[in-house]
Structures are given as structure tokens and as C-alpha cells.
Amino acid sequence: MTTSSKSPLQQLGGTVVLAGAGKMGGALLTGWLAQGLDGGDVVVIEPHPTDDIAALSARGVRLNASASDVGAVSTLVVAVKPQMFADAAAALRGYVGPSTLVVSIMAGKPIAALSEQLGGHVVRAMPNTPAAIGRGITVAVAASNVTPAQRSTADALLRATGGVEWVEDEALIDAVTAVSGSGPAYVFLLAEELARAGVEAGLPEELAMTLARATVAGSGELLHRSDLDAATLRKNVTSPGGTTAAALEVLMAEDGFRPLLTRAVAAATKRSKELAK
């Protein structure tokens, strides 16, 4: 018995249509091609393609091919902006057959709405922006009619930009959106405010931003590589009675970081639920 050396994407087979090649859709496409998906099996629907996307035609990627020209589609990946979906849905439905897998990365669009407007077998997913460098995290949930093989296909396509976690309860996607979908913005805000606080403490602005960026990026990488949890890593930096302890007394006070972030995540979760209505 021999084991195939091909990557999961090289073994997909069938045509993959990507609707929307903006930042997230473009990151997915780049990841697919880098991991061995044949460009000839990919169709991109993008009314305003960048030069980089248009150049992929040299690798066999078909740009804005009609549904009739494409023929049977095994997978449609929907990466259009949610506010554009109502206008795009009618045209996209033409690419969906009874057995087509539909993978949506749009925020606020539940499986029921996607199934009604597009048909097919729907997987709803929430990625985040570190997907652009292959370090994203995506959480996905499958409709009841998605087959094990289709789930594996969705996993392979989504995993091209980072890790993938699966949940069985679609209701969790709202909190997922608030934590990992919106989470990069919270981290970037931390870098902004750390730099600003450094300036307030007397540092030159350029040095403060350099220190803040490097500290946030390096700490994130340490957390990524370490087997220790975040709380242990935090404690390892904190000497009793030292400078870090003094700062953490402020950040971990009753009105500090925990209640603030709890309110922020709750607000984002609420908004995600509102968008789904």
C-alpha cells in the first residue's frame, strides 16, 4: 500500500470558483496556488481585479468566466463583501448545482440565508486578517447536508491560510467573530496605545512605535511557539514588586483590561447577531 505525496489541495479535483478576490479572497487564492491547487481548476469572479490577480491568468486561472462557460462547479467560495452579497447572489447562483459545496467567509450571513439564496451544501466560515501571511485562524460550521468529503474539501481550502477549527453550533460564530474575526484590530490598538503611552512617558514617537510593534509582534510569536499558556507566560515576565507588577496592578484592576475587553467582545458579538437578521 502506497501513500500519496500530493497535498490535499492537489487531490481536490473539480472546478473551484472564487467570488471576490479582495484582501481575504486574494489571500485564499494565493494560498491555494502555493499549496498545489492547479490554476486551471480555478475561476475567479472579481469585477475589479488587481494587477496581481489578473496576472494569474498566466497560471491558468480563469477570470470572470460565465457560469455557462465554466460548467459543473464542485466548490464555490464566497468572499464578497457582505453588503454586496444581495446584488451578487443572483449571478453566483448560476455556478451552484445540486451537489456544489458553497463555502462562505462573509460576516453576518447565516447558513439558512446562504442556502436560500445560493443553494448547494453550505459551510459558513469566519477567518481573520493574519490569513494574509498564512497565520490566520478560521472557524467553520457545516450545514446538515454537507458530506464528510465536502467538509474535508472545505477544510483544505480554508487551511491554506492558517489553522482551522470546526464547531457544530452555528450560534457560536457570533462570538467567534468577536474574538478572532475582530481580534486583530484589538491587538493593533494595543500597539497603538502602547506607543502613545511610551510617548507620554518621554520616548521619541518613532522609538515608541518601534518598541511597541516589536513587543507586540515578538510576544505574539512567543505565545505561538511556546507550550505554555498565556497566563504562565505573563507570570514569567512579572517579578514581585517590579515594574511589570506595577503596570499589571492597573491593567488587572476591577475597572481594568478584563471588564473593558469583556464589554468590547460583547458589543462585537451583539453586532454580529444584528447583521445576521
Q: Is 81 annotated as a binding residue?
A: yes
Q: What domains does the chain contain, in order, with CATH numbers?
A: 9-169 (3.40.50.720), 183-275 (1.10.3730.10)
Q: CA 223 to CA 204: how far, in whole Å? A: 28
pLDDT of residue 95: 97
pLDDT of residue 145: 97
| SS3 category, 106 | coil
Q: Cell 469585477 identifies what position?
A: 47
Q: Cell 474535508 identifies what position?
A: 152
Q: CA 25 to CA 42: how far, in whole Å? A: 13
pLDDT of residue 26: 94
- Distance of CA 57 to CAs 49, 60, 77, 98, 133, Å? 11, 5, 18, 28, 22
Between β-strands 121-126 and 101-104, what pairing exists: parallel, antiparallel or unpaired? parallel
The number of beta carbons lying within 10 Å of the beta carbon of residue 220 is 13
Q: Is 273 annotated as a binding residue?
A: no
Q: Cell 520616548 identifies what position?
A: 203
The number of beta carbons lying within 10 Å of the beta carbon of residue 225 is 8
Nearest CA to 138 out of 110, 102, 112, 107 is that of: 107
Q: CA 106 to CA 127: how far, in whole Å? A: 9
Question: What is the pTM (predicted TM-score) of this model?
Answer: 0.91
| SS3 category, 159 | helix
Contact status, residue 76 vs residue 102, Cβ threshold 8 Å: yes
39: alpha, beta or left? (left if phi > 0; alpha if psi -120 to 50): alpha
Q: Is 8 annotated as a binding residue?
A: no
Mean pLDDT by 10 residues, the chain (277 residues): 69 93 94 94 95 94 96 97 91 96 95 96 97 96 97 97 97 96 97 98 98 98 98 97 98 97 97 87
* Cα 244 from chain centroid (whole Å): 33
Nearest CA to 79 out of 16, 148, 168, 153 is that of: 16
| SS3 category, 190 | helix
Nearest CA to 70 out of 47, 91, 49 is that of: 91
Q: Is 82 annotated as a binding residue?
A: yes
pLDDT of residue 1: 43
Strand partners, 197: none
- What phi, psi does 30 have (nearest 5°)? -60, -40
pLDDT digits (tens, 9 = 90+) for 37-92: 999 999 999 999 999 999 999 999 999 999 999 999 999 999 999 889 989 999 99
| SS3 category, 141 | strand
| SS3 category, 238 | coil
| SS3 category, 18 | strand
SS percent in the chain: helix, strand, coil, step 5: 55, 15, 30
